[in-house]
Structures are given as structure tokens and as C-alpha cells.
Amino acid sequence: MTWVIVLVLAAIAFGTMAFMLKLPRAGWEITGAALLFGISGYALQGHPGLPGAPRTAVEDQKVADAELIKQRAEMGDQFGKGQSWLVLSDALARQGQYRASADVLGKAVQAQPGDADLWVALGNALVGHSEGMITPAAQFAFQKAAKISPEHPGPPFFMGLALAQSGRLADARAIWAELLARSPADAPYRADLQARLARIDSMLAASGQAPATPPAAPQMEPTAAPSADASASAE
């Protein structure tokens, strides 16, 4: 039945072009050949008998940067134990489901409020949900992680990244410079951090914003949680 409909539609299309739109007779053959070519392609690749399978669009077509997820995991190897939560939230983030990832991590920090890794991951999920912009809730999550574990490199690194993505290059540079100054010489993230600082310096210099003296880093200790428990929600 499907092929009957296809052929009828092709005949109607040909008739419309030939008689109603006054297609010149010299073009009938090439038009008919084009229609038959299209039908042949459908015959080879089409599957009209398969049931429909509507898909719900993901929240964000941009998937999380796998390298950044790996970097966050490496930075937090010795600082937290909430791996089961992180595995689930990272899987959601890789699919662009930042809201769902933030919801999972909001429950995680309620269950384990002393785990700095969970707070860092929550901050990243909130930044992803806001399309790369740092929000008060995300900033609170990073600051909370820094307060729990002052030596953890993740909070300043990812807060600096969020600030840079939000256009606050001088603030990002100040945080990263401070992190680099206190990082061990053999820290695996030093080379990446130095490269990011060099790029920021180039961007600041190109825009004429390079400060003679780097500004003080934004406060990395939380003052008060955002209203409506924003640290446990993506909104």
C-alpha cells in the first residue's frame, strides 16, 4: 500500500509540472527520470514498515567536554568518595543533560555535604545548564568546595574556567595565577593551566585590558547559600 501511495504522488507531481505548470515537453523525460531516481533511493534506504520512534530533544545539544570531565576526575581522586554520584552525573552531562546532572548532584551534596568533589561537579553542571555562564548558585558550589578542601585544585580551576567563559578574564586569571603559584611542580594539570594563563594574557593584551598588577582573586569562600537552596537546583 505504501508503494501505491508513493507512485500516485509521483504521478501527481509529474502531472502538475507537465500540464498545470506548462513544463516544456523537452523536459518531461529528465523530470520523470528525476522522480524515478528519488523513488529508487527511497526503495533502497527507506523503511516505511518500521514503527515511529519519536525522540525527546535533549536540554542542550552541546555535550560536555569529555576532557574536562576527565580532568575534574583526576583532580579529585584523593579528595572525595562520592564516585557513584559522579559516575551518574557525568553520564548525564556527556549527553548534554545538565539540568538532570545538577539535580542528581543536588541530592548528592545533601547526602554527603562534606565531599568537595561533589560540590565541584555541581558547580560545573550549573555552569553547563546556564550555557557556560557562571551563576550565583554555581559560584557558591565552587566556593563551598574550596572551603571544604582548601588544597583541592578543582574549585579554583573550574571557577576560573567559568569566569573566563563568562567574559571575566581578569578574575579568571587572578584565580588561576594563585592556583599555579601553590601547585606542586609535578602536578599533572600545571602545563594545561600555564597554557590557559598564556591565552588569557594574550586576550587581555589584545583588548588593552592587561592590568599592570593582577587583580585580587575573587573570594573562594562561600558567604551564604543562594536563596531557595539554589546549590541543589539547576535553576
Domain coordinates in residue numbering, the chain:
2-45, 66-232
Q: Can you give the pTM of this predicted structure?
A: 0.60
Q: Is residue 153 within 8 Å of residue 164, measured between CB atoms?
A: no
Helix (H, G, I), strand (E, B) or coil at 69: helix
Residue 49 has pLDDT above 90, yes or no: no
Residue 163 has pLDDT above 60, yes or no: yes
- Tell me the average pLDDT across 143-165: 93
Which pLDDT does position 42 carry in this prediction?
A: 54
Q: What's the CATH code, domain 66-232?
A: 1.25.40.10
Which pLDDT does position 94 carry in this prediction?
A: 84
Max distance between CA atoms of the chain, in angstroms, equals 82
Q: How far is the C-alpha of 230 from the C-alpha of 227, rounded, in Å?
A: 6
- Tell me the average pLDDT across 207-218: 56
Which pLDDT does position 22 carry in this prediction?
A: 59
Residue 133 has pLDDT above 50, yes or no: yes
Q: Is 195 or 208 the better-scoring residue by pLDDT? A: 195
Residue 122 has pLDDT above 90, yes or no: yes
By C-alpha distance, which of 146, 148, 149 is closest to 158?
Answer: 146
